[in-house]
A = this chain, B = another copy of it.
Amino acid sequence: MPNARTKPACGCPVAAFQKIISGKYKLRIVWDLKDGPLRYSEIRSGLLRGIEGTGEIAPRVLSRELKALAENGLIDRKDFGVVPPKVEYRLTAKGRSFVPVIAAIRDWGSAHLGGHVRQAQAA
């Protein structure tokens, strides 16, 4: 497509975004994956950081979010086909392009919603 149409017409992309990241863990999963591929249980335990007495995450839930993320092309599932099972999830290019957006969210959140997270960088 030639020429950038900077025409804020409708909120469609926002709605689409909402749909894609609907779910409690999707954003966090993508965020955690930004540092490299992770296995199922690594994602799971990573998700538990920062959650106090909420109990565990139902495998069914995590599984579903992972699948949805994969279907939306944000992450890629790599099954090593070994036993015991080993599966890795990694960001796709699309998923990586999404990281800055989450960074913006995180940044805003830490600035306006309690701010108990250190800045990621120094200016």
Contact = CB atoms under 8 A, between A and B. Distances in A.
A44 interface: no
A24 B60 CA distance: 24
A5 B118 contact: yes
A94 B106 contact: no
A120 B50 CA distance: 36
Nearest to A95: B112
A28 B27 CA distance: 19
Contacts of A1: 115-116
Given A18-B24, A28-B15, A108-B17, A6 B97 contact: no
B117 A5 contact: yes
Given A18-B27, A24-B18, A116 B49 contact: no
15 contacts: A6-B116, A6-B118, A7-B50, A10-B49, A12-B120, A13-B107, A13-B114, A14-B31, A14-B102, A15-B28, A17-B106, A18-B27, A97-B112, A100-B104, A104-B104
